[in-house]
Amino acid sequence: MGRNSSQMIVHWDGHDMAHWDRAHAAAAASLQQDWAYGSAMQSMGVPVLRARVEQDGVVLMLAQFIVRTWGRFGAVALCSRGPLWLQPLSPADEARAYAALQKSLPLTGLRFMLITPETPAEQPQGLSRWRRVMTGMSTVMLDLTPSMQALRAQLDRRWRHRLVGGEASEMSIHKLGTNPGQFRWLLEAEMQQRSDKGLEGLPRDFFEHYVQSRQNGSQTMLSLRADVGRERVAAMMFLIHGESAIYHVGWTSEQGRDLHAHNLILWKGMEELRARGVRKLDLGGVNTIRSAGIARFKMSTGGQVLTLAGTYLFLPP
């Protein structure tokens, strides 16, 4: 759908958080475009920019950027898994909106803008004048709107068999609170896993700041733990953003692995997230070469593999 050729105006301030949240929830958009994500980053001292593009009084797009600066010399602004489009636009109009963002970027010195659109690899609309500098990641997106019975039916046969085994085991599942002292041990286990396997992720402090970005912690996090007697054997943490959530942290002991604790925890997590109004669950990145077992675990839920278009750098005319 095209629009007329009137000017697109970019606003870098004066945003309404409630409007942003409603638009984000309606689109079941990404964590990186959630207002609370930006607030958490700001609490950690990371510069954040928010933009809205309007035309004839109609908001076309919202975009949140994380900024990295090099003193007075310049900066790069990254819009990760965004922007959030509020109106259907033609490729030409999307290109005009991107160009308006780049032209008005409120940074000094050398200014670079990177866009990682939340679109499949074959649909990078409006970015013909931009250079792809990084290939897109792949993730598994799980639609939680069907009934639990339908979600169970779409599970891979082996995955479902392991879930049944977990349900029949001596494991019990418990919700962790959103007080940092109740989930800090899980983050410590996650940091150790990252160190052991050479993995990267959000900084540890982010999670506490993210919980604090909302008055109600249940709007930002769900953590579940599997116990056998008094011994914890596995846990998972999901970050909630509007009507979407992302699986972000997982840990299991050898006993938990033998009991297929993560199958049971993820299933219970799907049920709880669905009850909280979450429509879409991002199971996180998949790498069939480096982490084939984890990739199979995620894909066997019946979710759809989404390979994103990649990261694009603006090229001036």
Radius of gyration of the CA atoms of the chain, in A = 21
Asked if residue 83 has a cis previous peptide bond (ω within 30° of 0), the answer is yes
User: How far, in Å, are 66, 229, 295, 299, 300 from residue 252 at the CA level?
Assistant: 32, 15, 16, 19, 19
Residue 8 is given by DSSP the state P
Q: What pTM, to 2 d.p., does this model score?
A: 0.93
152 strand-pairing partners: none
Helix or strand (DSSP H, E) at 299: helix 292-299
- Six token digits for residue 214: 């909302």
**Continuous segment of H or E residues that includes residue 207:** helix 204-212
What residues are paired with 62 via a beta bridge? 52, 84
The 10 Å Cβ neighbour count of residue 2 is 10
Cis peptide before 120 (omega within 30 of 0): no
User: Helix or strand or coil: residue 240?
Assistant: strand
Parallel, antiparallel or unpaired: strands 221-228 and 172-176: antiparallel
Distances (CA, A) of 116 to 23, 80, 110, 170: 19, 5, 20, 44
**141 - beta bridge partners?**
282, 304
**Which domains occur in the chain, in start order?**
9-135+308-314 (3.40.630.30), 145-278 (3.40.630.30)
Distance from C-alpha of 27 to C-alpha of 279, rounded to nearest angstrom = 10
Query: Could you list the pLDDT tens digit for every one of the 317 residues in the chain?
Result: 445 568 999 999 999 999 999 999 999 999 999 999 999 999 999 999 999 999 999 999 999 999 999 877 889 999 999 999 999 999 999 999 999 999 999 998 899 999 999 998 777 889 988 999 999 999 999 999 999 999 999 999 999 999 999 999 999 999 999 999 999 999 999 989 888 887 788 999 999 999 999 888 888 999 999 999 999 999 999 999 999 999 999 999 999 999 999 999 999 999 999 999 999 999 998 887 778 889 999 999 999 999 999 999 987 65
AA identity, residue 34: D
The one-letter amino acid code at 114 reads L
